[in-house]
Structure 1
Amino acid sequence: METTSRPAGESGPAAQGVPGARRAVDDYLMAAFPWYGLDAAFTGPRWLMQVGTAADGTVEHGSTGHGEEPSLRVETTPEDESFAVVVTLASRPVRRSGDGTGTLEATSVSTAAWLAGSGLLSCSFPMEMDRSLRQDWLDQQTGVAWELADDLDGSGWSSLSLPVDGIPTDFHYRESAYGWVLAGSAQEGVHLGAYGRGMSAYGLGFAVVKDITEYERG
């Protein structure tokens, strides 16, 4: 699935003079599907991350953050962070591209697993590794994440049941040295992915975000 990610608060000609948080939430409001986050049992900070769009500008997926925003500062260790990120991905069949020149792949739970796995990697930094080598490590691990996402029934994953809108839902779940990743589907025509560390996945629940503006950064 080829999409372009727009970080929350990204600047651009059309957004000049508009506060970053408002630009970010406007991106989320353009989606034709509901956003998911942690349910009401989570009472900590919530924040916007980024949306991914197709070539024609259609919002395809995006992420909402919960807990402490992860940092790539070298002096920060994974043990210092506690966060969970929920990825919402529109469920799409194989379809024509916006310009009519080709087709776009269908989205799936594997796609959600890939987005979650690559998201976890993007906010991870092996403490024993020189910063100049991180991109090589990231490229290598991203390839591994894709192979794992493409084999959800393989030994790299286990099963975990968590509530989605109050309904027990099966997820594919895996842990690594950098945190955990899970992926499944909701009842609202979307696939869900999630990743985090310092916050156990076993006690989480997911629910439709009734008002995405509650996630705006201050």
Structure 2
Amino acid sequence: METTSRAVAQAPAAEGAQHVPSARRTVDGYLEAPFPWYGLDEAFTGPRWLMQVGTAADGAVEHGSVGHGDEPSVRHETAGEDRGKFAVVVTVAANPSRRSADGTGLLEATTVSSAAWLAGVGLLSYTWPGQMDHSLRDDWLDQQTETAWELADDLGGPEWSTLSLPVDGVPTPFHYRESEFGWVLAGSTQEGVHVGAYGRGMSAYGLGFAMIKDITSYA
């Protein structure tokens, strides 16, 4: 799969960490991005919040996430039925395979599969199956992360369906899948970026996406 490396793509897992809320909310990284950010459109009137950006090997901002609704938690005590309602939108710059800025390496291309992978791992980072012992979650997460990678590499496979949702008011096809943990979708925009999203408690079928005019409004 032509996508971001696993080291870069692991970034969403850190978003669930409970010890970096201030770092997660800084807007500086978002402002450094040379591409537009996407979020839910104006039909969504609930809370909006920054999450985290991810960078390529040369330090350039390559992707990032913004949240909508209830901020999710990975705490064991909230792993039951009441886990909040949220939708996270992941924006990924559409880049070809290219040399790093210092000329020392090759940066892999980013595709719709990149957005699907990042969204899939992002959902897992806020998932803790009920009755699972703390010592077993890392092994479970590794296994599920590998599955998310394989699914993102096969967007034409039976696990995915097609869903049409508005992006900047234009009907746009998305790859969509559901699991017991929530839903994941991924597609491309006309503005040179790929958009992924994941959520739980909020139906994906009624969502719309739009370019964020002022990213500081999420801070």
CA contact (8 A) 1:63 1:88 kept: yes
State the partner residue of 1:38. Answer: 40
Provide the C-alpha distance between the structure 2 equivalents of 1:167 and 1:189, rounded to a whole number of angstroms. 15
- TM-fit CA distance, 1:79: 3.3
Residue 98 of structure 2 is aligned to residue 95 of structure 1: yes
CA contact (8 A) 1:78 1:197 kept: no
CA contact (8 A) 2:79 2:127 kept: no
- TM-fit CA distance, 1:22: 10
List structure 1 runs of 4+ shifted beyond 3 angstroms.
4-8, 19-23
State the partner residue of 2:142. Answer: 139
CA contact (8 A) 2:80 2:130 kept: no
Provide the C-alpha distance between the structure 2 equivalents of 1:194 and 1:180, rounded to a whole number of angstroms. 8
Which sections of structure 1, spanning at least 5 residues, go unmatched?
A: 11-18
Match of 1:73 among 52, 72, 75: 75
State the partner residue of 1:15. Answer: none
Which sections of structure 2, spanning at least 5 residues, go unmatched?
A: none
Which letter does structure 1 place at the counterpart of 2:157?
G
Provide the C-alpha distance between the structure 1 equivalents of 2:45 and 2:169, rounded to a whole number of angstroms. 17
Alignment partner of 2:81: what SS? helix
CA contact (8 A) 2:38 2:212 kept: yes
- TM-fit CA distance, 1:78: 5.4
Match of 1:54 among 50, 56, 64: 56
Match of 2:110 among 88, 107, 112: 107
CA contact (8 A) 1:113 1:149 kept: yes
Against the structure 1 CA distance between its residues 132 and 27, is the aligned structure 2 distance closer, same or farther, given a 3 Å change threshold?
A: same
- 1:167-200: CA deviations, max 9, x gaps? 0000000000100000000111000000000000
Which letter does structure 2 place at the counterpart of 1:79?
E
Match of 1:212 among 190, 194, 215: 215
CA contact (8 A) 2:25 2:50 kept: no
State the partner residue of 1:84. Answer: 87
Which letter does structure 2 place at the counterpart of 1:192?
V
Provide the C-alpha distance between the structure 1 equivalents of 2:80 and 2:132, rounded to a whole number of angstroms. 14
Alignment partner of 2:76: what SS? coil
- TM-fit CA distance, 1:104: 1.2
- 1:96-116: CA deviations, max 9, x gaps? 123312211110000100000
Provide the C-alpha distance between the structure 1 equivalents of 2:72 and 2:24, rounded to a whole number of angstroms. 22
State the partner residue of 1:123. Answer: 126
State the partner residue of 2:198. Answer: 195
Against the structure 1 CA distance between its residues 57 and 42, is the aligned structure 2 distance closer, same or farther, given a 3 Å change threshold?
A: same
Alignment partner of 1:129: what SS? coil
Residue 30 of structure 2 is aligned to residue 28 of structure 1: yes
- TM-fit CA distance, 1:92: 0.2
Which letter does structure 2 place at the counterpart of 1:62?
G
- TM-score, length-normalised on structure 1? 0.90
Work out the number of aligned pairs and report it. Answer: 207
Which letter does structure 1 place at the counterpart of 2:199?
G
Provide the C-alpha distance between the structure 2 equivalents of 1:102 and 1:26, rounded to a whole number of angstroms. 26
- TM-score, length-normalised on structure 2? 0.89
Against the structure 1 CA distance between its residues 109 and 22, is the aligned structure 2 distance closer, same or farther, given a 3 Å change threshold?
A: closer
Provide the C-alpha distance between the structure 2 equivalents of 1:22 and 1:117, rounded to a whole number of angstroms. 19
Provide the C-alpha distance between the structure 2 equivalents of 1:114 and 1:22, rounded to a whole number of angstroms. 20
Alignment partner of 2:116: what SS? helix
Against the structure 1 CA distance between its residues 22 and 198, is the aligned structure 2 distance closer, same or farther, given a 3 Å change threshold?
A: closer
CA contact (8 A) 1:64 1:86 kept: yes
- TM-fit CA distance, 1:77: 3.1
